Amino acid sequence: RKEVEQDPGPFNVPEGATVAFNCTYSNSASQSFFWYRQDCRKEPKLLMSVYSSGNEDGRFTAQLNRASQYISLLIRDSKLSDSATYLCVVNKDNFNKFYFGSGTKLNVKP
Amino acid sequence: GAVVSQHPSRVICKSGTSVKIECRSLDFQATTMFWYRQFPKQSLMLMATSNEGSKATYEQGVEKDKFLINHASLTLSTLTVTSAHPEDSSFYICSATDGSYEQYFGPGTRLTVT
């Protein structure tokens, strides 16, 4: 079983829509959770960390559910510039191992 | 923010030759560097974890004699793909951490083996 699983999408949404992605992880000992964004042929960039209490950064909200072992990312009021692949990343072993999901592709259309 | 560079950004080599990729942390000391490989439309796959001054830890299925990693200083790690074959063609990305939770990624190296 993969460490981290994501729906590959693509999610095709109109501008202004709200879209949500989920990601499940297999190891209950996982310690830290992140969402990264990767544009085509570019390196991943940190979007936000995910805390148990949930966290919000502008139009982006991340949630962690340890009991069900999943994390989520909600994007409100989608912009064309949000089009990218969103990678769920899970860490264990005190930051010595990061596991990436396969990514969820988002296409925001005018 | 912290900057990680990779060189070269793109390389084309013939089958059987070796290619060296450099990863540098430009404005911080990287306690740990990671090497990833990404095939088209797939996610990043961790190849190895590299700590300065010690041997790299390779993920299962990654041949350490084929992918040589040297982490000689706190700002430089190198990945050498030895005797490259067309199936080694991929996007190789390094990342570095200063001991905090965040990884800083290099811009990647696109390797094509003909």
> What are the tokens at A59?
């139009």
Could you give the CA distance from residue A19 to residue A4 in angstroms, rounded to a whole number?
20
Whether A94 and chain B come into contact, CB under 8 Å, resolves to: no
Given CA atoms A24, A27, A33, A39 in this order, what sign does their dihedral have? negative
Q: Measuring CA to CA, which residue among A56, A57, A35, A54 is closest to residue A46?
A: A35
Could you give the CA distance from residue B33 to residue B5 in angstroms, rounded to a whole number?
12
Whether A41 and chain B come into contact, CB under 8 Å, resolves to: yes
CB atoms within 10 A of CB A55: 14
Which of B44, B57, B59, B91 has the most A C-beta neighbours within 10 Å, making it the best mutation to test the interface with A? Answer: B44
Q: B 41-80 residues with CB below 8 A of A?
A: 42-46, 49
Given CA atoms A5, B43, B100, B53 in this order, what sign does their dihedral have? positive
- Give per-residue pLDDT as tens, A15-61: 999 999 999 999 888 888 999 999 988 889 989 989 788 899 999 99
pLDDT at A92 over 80: no
Supply the pLDDT for residue A32: 86
Supply the pLDDT for residue B1: 66
Residue with tokens 């088209």, as numbered in its chain: B40
* Residue pair A99/B49 in contact by the 8 Å Cβ criterion: no
Supply the pLDDT for residue A96: 65
Supply the pLDDT for residue A41: 81
Q: Which residues of chain B have pLDDT under 50?
A: none
pLDDT at A107 over 90: yes
Could you give the CA distance from residue A75 to residue B12 in angstroms, rounded to a whole number?
39
- Tell if the CB–CB gap between A100 and B43 is shorter than 8 Å: yes
Residues of B in contact with A102 (CB under 8 A): 42-43
Number of H helices, E strands in chain A: 0, 11
Render the burial of B8-31: b for 16+ CB within 10 Å, e for the rest. Answer: eeebebeeeeebebbbbbeebebb
For all residues of chain A together, what is the average pLDDT?
A: 90
Residues of A in contact with B97 (CB under 8 A): 95
Residue of A nearest to B10 (CA): A41
* Residue pair A85/A105 in contact by the 8 Å Cβ criterion: yes
Residue of A nearest to B33 (CA): A96
- Tell if the CB–CB gap between B101 and A45 is shorter than 8 Å: no
